[in-house]
Structure 1
Amino acid sequence: MPAGSGFLRREVGLWGLTFVSLGSIIGSGWLLGALSAAQAAGPASVISWLLAGGMLALLALVHAELGTAYPVAGGTARFPGFAFGVLAGLTAGWAAWLQAVTIAPIEVEASLQYLNNIGWVRSHLGLLHADGTLSPAGLGFATLLMLLFTVINVQGVRRLTRSNTAVVLWKLAIPVLTVIVVAALTFQPSNFTAGGGFSPYGAHGIFAALPAGVVFSLQGFEQAIQLGGEARDPQRDLSRAVILAMLIGTVLYVLLQIVFIGGLDPRNLADGWAHPVGAGDFGPYATIAAAAGAGWLAVLLYADAFVSPAGTGLVYLGTSARLSYALARQGTLPPALSHLSRRGVPLYSIVLAFVAGELAFLPYPSWQSLVGLVTSATAIMYAFAPVSLTALRRRDPRHHRPYRLPAAGIAAPAAFVAANLVIYWGGFEATWKLLLAIGAGLALFAITVAHTPDRERPAVDWRASSWIWPWLIGLTLIGFLGRYGRGARLWLPSWIDLLVVIAFSLVVFAYAVSVAMDSERVRAAVDREKDPVGRQVRPLPGDPS
């Protein structure tokens, strides 16, 4: 394929797509999410995982239909663009890019934090300062990891998925082994009623656990969708990959939370759930394994504490590049970002992801405090999908849909409500910061348009996108009046706040669907994305991926 050619190579099979999503789901979250969830909700954190799994599964099914019907690169940015025009695509894509491009450096830092917990590494290398930020040596190692991710991504999507598959097999084996060993050696059923009972913090604790690491840990199913433009048989494989990855991830995380609670030392729970593991124990499962006499498992866990986050960082650097590629194809970011190399990858977008990741290594707070911001950005991205699905079903009804969301008339609005609840639980502080970041994206769009010749400027359908800013500002205001996050006013009583979010979401959903672009413009937008050989692309000879 000549450099700069306009279409990506379709080379990724079912298992490659499944492992891309599963590899994104199993990252630093499995090592840290259980601890954060238990601190927020106690034993009832198991309910938090089940609740998050159900909500995200609904959103995953929405993405499964969209991905199989419209298999394009950076799908989370493209689906809203098909239904509501370039501003909607920009807003969704920019939120998606912000979270994706941040996750790679977050996962790298998580890897280094685990490594620094080993005595020899801490004394001889000193990867972190006392306040937890990267030291010069830590920054050097972090940069080397980001460079490794970049080189693998530049080699092409086949190299990316094959490298990721080997890592995911390891990442899946170690958590499963942890569940078996901890359950067999040191499981205390009495822990589920210790420290104030099964639900010491009530429903508020269950909801507060979701943005404290639970949703962050389970997110990532959409990564297969982002590679939709490179899937060999997207209409058959995308829905299967998304659903399979989500199912495996949810079951695994629920089991991990159960054995984490049951494996704790009951003495640490006498005064509540604020410190369920000892002070300074960064790897909670390793602490439990060592206390149970399974030191060999603790060694494997510290090794996996490097492999799992690093594998997730590898995937997210690649998918964030697909998002900026998609935005450039829409005309909302500089066109150079849509340039493809001879290997069929968006080269400049990959370089941009590396540079943005390096900037993210500037001093910032802990893993726990960062995941709330990333979770809210992800929920904004997810929220666009059910609105887009309903609008596209109405405006493009004859389009072939190999997978159809069951009971979409109920499931799609419910999925939109679920995403909005996650944004609300993420807290006012996260929402207003994201509002500013999205505004910065619009400013970049304005600059891009100003330097684009008149005949090439994307047409903006202001009416079709008129729901977006009232929706985002309204959610921010509800968060200000609610009880989650610093700066919130606690003016909305418990449960009343949830009813307000649900009612507001349904009103926005109905209005958004009603103002979607007309059928002719929707079909024109979709037709522009068809590749020269159609959606069904033959696999390359001898490619088993």
Structure 2
Amino acid sequence: MSTTSLTLSGKLRRDAGIVGLLFASTTSMVGSGWLFGSYHAAQIAGPLSIGSWVLGAIIIMLIALCFAELAALFPRSGALVHMSHASHGEGLGRIWCWLLFLAYVPVPAVETEAIVTYANNYLPYFIRPGNEGLLTTTGFITCAALLGVTALLNLMVVRWLLNVNSTITWWKILVPVLTIIGLMAASSHWGVMSAAPGSYKFSGMFTALPAAGIVFSYLGFRTAIDLGGETANPHRNIPLAVIGAVVLAAALYIMLQVAFIWALAPTDLAHGWANLSFKGEMGPFAGLAATLGLGWMATLLYIDAYLSPGGTGLMYVTGGSRVLFAAGEMKAGPRVLTKLNGNKVPWVAVLVMWVIGAIFLLPFPAWQQMVSYITSVTVLTYGLGPIALLVLRRNLPDLKRPFRMAGASIIAPLAFICSNLVIYWTGFKTNSFLFSLVAIGFVAYAVYYHLIARKPAGQFGWRQIAWLLPWFGGIWVLSWLGNIGGGRDVIGFGWDILLVSVWSVVVMLLAMRCALGHAETALMMQRMDGTS
């Protein structure tokens, strides 16, 4: 395998068109979430789960609009890394780079878990008996091997990779559409919408967002951004792909939840929505199809249980490797991450995604457990987008913007508030793990920077990252005081939303004060013009 030693002398191919980018984001969104999300959402929020999907789409669209403008300003692969450098400098850029990596690397692992969970219905070797969904040794090895397949496919020329993905995406759109039509046509249980009214709470519509994997299901929109350096017309293609993917996925997910609820029988809810149970629930849609006598659909869904999560995992390895590629470019990570193979693909970064992804199967060996972590850390990385947008609007007001979002002064703060609310709704237990992981990584990096590498303390960027402590610390304290996922139940529902919103505004003001000035941002943008 031939490689180049440095990205700046070996450029990435610009083979990705508008359809390729749109389908890259779409297939990243329509993965295991649709196979399991409706079932878990119905358990938490009952028929209000339909509202959960609508709310999730609104939240993600607010965030996506911010990134659509930013992505057109940074038409290069791994653009999310570059955005953080432009708004708050190298110190925050390095931290954000590795937070992004933590957000990307577990997703292919969770998609492989979805595959073996469905397969366990007829090959009972992958999941331990019981209700925890934990992997057996055979399950772990199988997941690691499936991750290896996605890594190998990612070593292809990007045009070929996106052609393979486009074929998978057409399938991934067709099967949910057929599922919606089939379940709604075959079901006669239209009155189930009002069944077991005392077995779910209004607050469940919000907690279902992270807990049921709803936000997780929408997270893949930014794959088109990650491939920005590999399209010939990024200023047009990236915003269209990002916004189009969110709209398409939202339509599918909302109608899937409607079809799922209407297909339930009253007997399935005999013990309430929280204890929703039916034959084949380890493969919820396939189980319902079999119950309604739709054997052909059940077979189709079991086939899709391989292709949908597999396609999403494939694209997340692509996106994550580009984040690592950008880390090497911006010196936020080892330069070896910029090595390209003969197809102009960052092969070392792909290899890292495979190896570390397999490790992530260990601490979160169940689909729903890992989804909570991914949702929290990914939305945490999204939080910088609205802030970076406002910083660049302030620092470079005359910069030509191929896509300019109207109402940025309102939409950006709302997007930041929504990001923090989703993190809060993930629960205290998950957030404690997340912020502990972030703290350990930060301390390790600071020790390396100051004591081992002995780099100048003034270049660490302490002033630009000072706002992170009140942000992370404040959300953790509110999560501890809340009543979700092991909190102390000091703050009730409603008050928690208000407090998180107020604190988000305070943090945003701090972030703006800590950001780079006009000249520093302009200099950073000039530096990035030389990257891929």
1:356–1:30 Cα change, 3 Å: same
Measured in 2, the distance between the counterparts of 1:257 and 1:403 equals 33
C-alpha RMSD of the superposition:
2.1
2:358 equivalent in structure 1 = 358
SS at match of 1:503: helix
Q: Quote how far apart the aligned CAs of 1:68 are.
A: 0.6
Q: Quote how far apart the aligned CAs of 1:444 are.
A: 5.0
Q: Quote how far apart the aligned CAs of 1:313 are.
A: 0.8
2:88 is equivalent to residue 84 of structure 1 = yes
Overall identity of the aligned pairs, in %: 36
Checking the alignment, whether the CA contact within 8 Å between 2:5 and 2:338 is kept in structure 1 is no
Checking the alignment, whether the CA contact within 8 Å between 2:46 and 2:200 is kept in structure 1 is yes
Partner of residue 97 from structure 1, selected from 101, 115, 135:
101
Moved more, 245-254 or 431-440: 431-440
1:157 equivalent in structure 2 = 158
2:494 equivalent in structure 1 = 495
Measured in 2, the distance between the counterparts of 1:102 and 1:523 equals 34
Checking the alignment, whether the CA contact within 8 Å between 1:3 and 1:344 is kept in structure 2 is no
1:114 equivalent in structure 2 = 118
1:393–1:492 Cα change, 3 Å: same
**Superposition map of 1:213-232 within 5 A:** 213-232=213-232
SS at match of 2:27: helix
Measured in 1, the distance between the counterparts of 2:157 and 2:443 equals 32
2:7 equivalent in structure 1 = 5
Q: Which amino acid aligns with 2:150?
A: F
2:395 equivalent in structure 1 = 395
Checking the alignment, whether the CA contact within 8 Å between 2:38 and 2:260 is kept in structure 1 is yes
Measured in 2, the distance between the counterparts of 1:136 and 1:109 equals 13
Q: Deviations over 1:291-339 (max 9, x none)?
A: 2111000000011011111111111112111112222322222222222
Checking the alignment, whether the CA contact within 8 Å between 2:279 and 2:287 is kept in structure 1 is no
1:209 equivalent in structure 2 = 208
Moved more, 8-17 or 277-286: 277-286
Q: Quote how far apart the aligned CAs of 1:446 are.
A: 3.8
Q: Deviations over 1:155-190 (max 9, x none)?
A: 232232122111111111100000011111114221
Measured in 2, the distance between the counterparts of 1:356 and 1:247 equals 32
Q: Which amino acid aligns with 2:208?
A: A
Measured in 2, the distance between the counterparts of 1:469 and 1:363 equals 26
Measured in 2, the distance between the counterparts of 1:225 and 1:339 equals 21
Measured in 2, the distance between the counterparts of 1:19 and 1:355 equals 26
Q: Deviations over 1:348-404 (max 9, x none)?
A: 111111110121233634212221111011110111100000001111222221111
Moved more, 414-423 or 313-322: 313-322
Runs of 4+ aligned residues of structure 1 deviating over 6 Å after TM superposition are none
Q: Quote how far apart the aligned CAs of 1:2 are.
A: 4.4
Measured in 2, the distance between the counterparts of 1:458 and 1:104 equals 38
**Superposition map of 1:250-261 within 5 A:** 250-261=250-261
Q: Quote how far apart the aligned CAs of 1:514 are.
A: 2.5
Q: Quote how far apart the aligned CAs of 1:453 are.
A: 8.5
Q: Which amino acid aligns with 1:376?
A: S
What is the TM-score when the length of structure 1 is the normalising length? 0.92
Measured in 2, the distance between the counterparts of 1:103 and 1:2 equals 28
Structure 1 runs not aligned, ≥5 long:
536-545
1:331 equivalent in structure 2 = 331
SS at match of 1:238: helix
2:41 is equivalent to residue 31 of structure 1 = no
Q: Quote how far apart the aligned CAs of 1:137 are.
A: 3.5
Q: Quote how far apart the aligned CAs of 1:203 are.
A: 2.6
Structure 2 runs not aligned, ≥5 long:
none
2:54 equivalent in structure 1 = 50
1:509 equivalent in structure 2 = 508
1:278 equivalent in structure 2 = 278
Equivalenced residue count is 524
Checking the alignment, whether the CA contact within 8 Å between 1:76 and 1:381 is kept in structure 2 is no
Q: Which amino acid aligns with 1:28?
A: S
Checking the alignment, whether the CA contact within 8 Å between 1:331 and 1:458 is kept in structure 2 is no
Measured in 1, the distance between the counterparts of 2:342 and 2:330 equals 22
SS at match of 2:362: coil
Q: Which amino acid aligns with 2:246?
A: M
Q: Which amino acid aligns with 2:423?
A: I
1:412 equivalent in structure 2 = 412
SS at match of 2:399: coil
Measured in 1, the distance between the counterparts of 2:143 and 2:270 equals 39
**Superposition map of 1:234-273 within 5 A:** 234-273=234-273
What is the TM-score when the length of structure 2 is the normalising length? 0.94
Measured in 2, the distance between the counterparts of 1:454 and 1:365 equals 39
Measured in 1, the distance between the counterparts of 2:49 and 2:255 equals 12
1:22 equivalent in structure 2 = 26
